Amino acid sequence: MNAMTKLVRLHVDGVAIEAPVGASVAAAIAQVMLRFGLRPGGDARAPLCGMGVCFECRVRIDSVEHQRACMTIVRENMRVETTAEPAHG
């Protein structure tokens, strides 16, 4: 059976989406937009390294800050929030 047929439902900034079982939160967010947050200075940031090193994909997941979207697997009913305001600066 194709793994793509199994889907998980979650929310990205309030938007309901579906992602394949085993997909990363980064992949789920990318269905909606490419802006994962803002860097100090206000420009948008998005994933760079894809493997947990650069932290450019950090988002809030189920109210926990600074989770790496590329290292986190989607779960049913997960609530993902990209951060609209820069951390500082």
Partner 1 sequence: MAEHYDVLVVGAGPAGLAAADAAASHGARVGLIDAQATLGGQVWRHDVRSDAPRVAHSAFRAVESRTNIVHFTRTQVVAAAPDRLLVEQEGEARSLGYASLILACGARELLLPFPGWTLPGVFGAGGAQALVKQGWPIAGKRIVIAGSGPLLLAAAATLRKHGASVVAIYEQASAKQLAAFAAALWRWPQKATQAIALRAALAGVPYRAGAFVRAAHGDAQLRSIEVQVGKNIQTVECDYLAIGYGLVPNVELAQLLGCALDADGRHPRIVVDEEQRTSIANIYAAGEVCGIGGRDTARIEGAIAGHAAAGVRQAAIKLHSARRKARRFSVLLETRFALDPRIRELVTDDTIVCRCENVAWSALRDFADARAAKLQTRCGMGACQGRICGTALAELGRFARGGLRPPIFPARLATLADADFAANPTDPFIDSNQENFA
**Which residues form the interface with partner 1 (CB under 8 A)?**
2-4, 19-24, 26-28, 30-31, 34-36, 39-41, 43-56, 58, 64-66, 70-71, 73, 87, 89
d(CA 70, CA 72): 6
Is the Cα torsion angle 56, 59, 39, 27 positive or negative in sign?
Answer: positive
d(CA 10, CA 18): 6
Closer residue to partner 1 (CB): 14 or 56: 56
CB 13 to partner 1: min, Å: 15
CB 44 to partner 1: min, Å: 5
Closer residue to partner 1 (CB): 9 or 39: 39
CB 40 to partner 1: min, Å: 4
Distances (CA, A) of 68 to 5, 6, 34, 42: 25, 23, 15, 20
Give every CB contact of residue 34 below 8 A, 6+ residues apart in sequence. Answer: 44, 46
Closer residue to partner 1 (CB): 14 or 64: 64
